[in-house]
Each structure stands twice: as structure tokens, then as C-alpha cells.
Amino acid sequence: MASPETPRAAARKTPEARTAAAKKTAVKKNAVPRGPAEAGASAGEPTASKAAAAPEKPAAKKPAAKKAATAKRAVPAKKAVASRTSAQAPAGKPESRLAMVRRARRINRELADVYPYAHPELDFLNPFQLLVATVLSAQTTDLRVNQTTPALFAKYPTPEDMAAAAPEELEELIRPTGFFRSKAKSLLGLSRVLRDDFGGEVPGRLEDLVRLPGVGRKTAFVVLGNAFGVPGITVDTHFMRLARRWKWTEQEDPVKIEAEIAEIFPKSEWTMLSHRVIFHGRRICHARKPACGACPITHLCPSYGEGETDPEKAKKLLKYEKGGFPGQRLNPPPDYPGEPAPPLGAG
């Protein structure tokens, strides 16, 4: 930085030099910062505080308009909305219930645009296969289940076949999914109940499904929503995490979360909402490091910044088709834009 001119040095100058120096100082004094760089944002201070410190210039209408136009061009559309959202809901002023519901429904609509192909990520051909696959998916990935079930369903295609399986053989087939002893017990138990009490068919009612060994509400809703077309909210680990990040609920218990979410969205949306939220949780809004810098709904998210905000670094965190990788299904639906998952042991 240049040091200020001393009075003695100024006195040594010619009159012309003194006039020029005086003009230069006047221009500098009246200058209005034109953008964050000039306002000193590069010095590491938040832009907002710099903007607040900037002098008001009522006469400078044209430069201000020019400045606004430049800012509009420079800021991406969604970021512009983001500043509006935070301006409407300043810190300390809680969002109204109505505003939250509107925001939640907008998130659902925007996720529908981001994931028009959202679907259950378990491979299945009938309700029995979906029920078995969902039981196996506890504590493991859908990918691992999908890699395991082809051999399982080839050997035990019906509840009757599975009910008659030797426990050790069943355990061996499902071993890659983990917790294989207790899962084998559940599969044997539910197959026997299906065979003995439901004529070998998977029932299409919640109260019947939750009677089956190893089947809770989450599994029941997956089966009802995707094999029977009955609307249901699937509150899994991703759904719980995202619903709380988006301030849809503060509950921690899945049943209470389900009840609160059911109040926000119409029943007709429940199943697809579940898929979209789970897709987003698996691909972008991860548990440990959400890829905020690559997230398409930052303008609607009160938790923006909880994860990586640098766009380039965030891009590297994306998974499955969003990151250019294979998906979880070996047989994805035709509209899925990514690659199918490889079979067990491939690659």
C-alpha cells in the first residue's frame, strides 16, 4: 500500500502537479464500489456487511441500475432466489407452517424434475420378490441385494419353495447381504405364513403385512406402494435425514416422521415423494458430506452449507448416474439414464 504524501512533499510540487493531485483525491473520495471485488469482498469479508457499509448515492441512478443488471447476469437464477428466500425468513424469525408446506411441496416438484425416473432400487418381478428383497435390504445396499437375489429367486421362486428350504442353504445364498442368519429366519418364517395363512400370496393390506416375521411398517409400505399401488411414505435413513435437513419435521421416530409428512403432502404423492427423497439422499445429499455445491435445490434448503459448497469438489461427491457411475439395479427401468449395476463378482 502507498504511504500518504507528507505536507512538505506536497509543497515541493508545482501548482499544476498540486491541482492534478487534488483532482485525483476528489475522484477517489467520491468513488462508489461497483461490485464485490471493489467493495472489498476479496479481503475476505462477507459481501453483505460490505454492502451495508457502502455509502448511499441517491444521485447515482444510472450506475446503480447498471450495477443491478451486472449482478443479475453474474448470479445464477437459483442463487438469486436463494437470497430472496433468506431475506424473507431472517434468522430468529421462524418460517410459518404455510410457508414450510409450500416450500416442501416445491421441493417435491423440483425433485420430480431432477429425478423423473425415480423408482424403487430393488430388482423384482412380483410382490413376493419385492417382499423378500426388502427384508434382505436391511443394513446393506440395494445393489448388494440385487446382486444376491437372482440366484435366490432361481432356487426358490415361490413362498412354498422358500418355506421348504433347508436353513443352511438359504443362509448360504443370502450371505452377501449380511446378518444372513436372522434374515434367513425371517424369510423362512414369512414364507411359511404366506403359504399357510394367505394361500401363497402376498397380502395387499398393511395390517396383514406387518404380521409377517421380519416385516415392519417400512417394508410393508415399500411393498404396498410398489407392488400394489397403495400410497405409502417410506421413512428410511435417507428420508429421515433429509426431512430433518429441510425442516419438514423435528421428530426422530420414523412413525412420527411418517405422520407429520403425511400432513404435508397429498396421499397421491406419498410413494413417488419417497422415491425422490431417497434418490436425492443417495446421490447428492449424503449423510456425512452433502454435495451442496452440486445440489439443484439449494434455494429451497435451510441446511445449505452443511456439506461441500465448492462446485468442483461437490461434483466429485455425486453418486450413481449423477456422478456418471452404474446404478443399483441390474435391471433398471427403461427410462433410467444411468448404467445398470454389474452382477455379483463382476469387475
Q: Catalytic residues, which ones?
A: 218, 236
Beta-carbon contacts of 265 under 8 Å, excluding residues fewer than 6 positions away, are 104, 105, 108, 273
Give the number of other Cβ atoms within 10 Å of residue 114's Cβ: 16
Can residue 284 be called a binding residue for ligand SF4 (CB under 6 A)? yes
Site for ligand SF4 in 87-126 (CB under 6 A): none
Determine whether the annotation assigns residue 295 to a binding site.
yes
In the numeric block, the cell 435413513 is attached to: 237
**Which residue, 326, 111, 139, 146, is CA-closest to 237?**
139
Q: What is the contact mask toward ligand SF4 in residues 205 to 224, using x (rule: CB under 6 A)?
A: --------------------
Determine whether the annotation assigns residue 301 to a binding site.
yes
Can residue 285 be called a binding residue for ligand SF4 (CB under 6 A)? yes
Q: Which is nearer to ligand SF4, 143 or 295 (CB)?
A: 295
Q: Which is nearer to ligand SF4, 251 or 303 (CB)?
A: 303
Site for ligand SF4 in 21-50 (CB under 6 A): none
> Quick one: which of 160, 306, 310, 339 contacts ligand SF4 (CB under 6 A)?
306
DSSP code of 268?
A: G
Beta-carbon contacts of 10 under 8 Å, excluding residues fewer than 6 positions away, are 18, 21
Q: Which amino acid is at 131?
A: L
Can residue 174 be called a binding residue for ligand SF4 (CB under 6 A)? no
DSSP 3-state assignment of 157? Answer: coil
Q: Which is nearer to ligand SF4, 140 or 303 (CB)?
A: 303
Which range in 29-37, 156-164, 227-235, 290-298 contacts ligand SF4 by CB under 6 A? Answer: 290-298
State the cell numbers at 126.
412380483
- Say if residues 235 and 218 touch (Cβ distance below 8 Å): yes
Number of residues that bind ligand SF4 (CB under 6 A): 14
C-alpha dist (Å) from residue 181 to 155, 168, 173, 278: 18, 9, 11, 28
Q: Which residue numbers belong to the known binding site? A: 285, 292, 295, 301
Which residue ranges make up the site for ligand SF4 (CB under 6 A)? 245, 284-285, 290-292, 295, 297-298, 301, 303-304, 306-307
Binding-site members for [4Fe-4S] cluster are: 285, 292, 295, 301
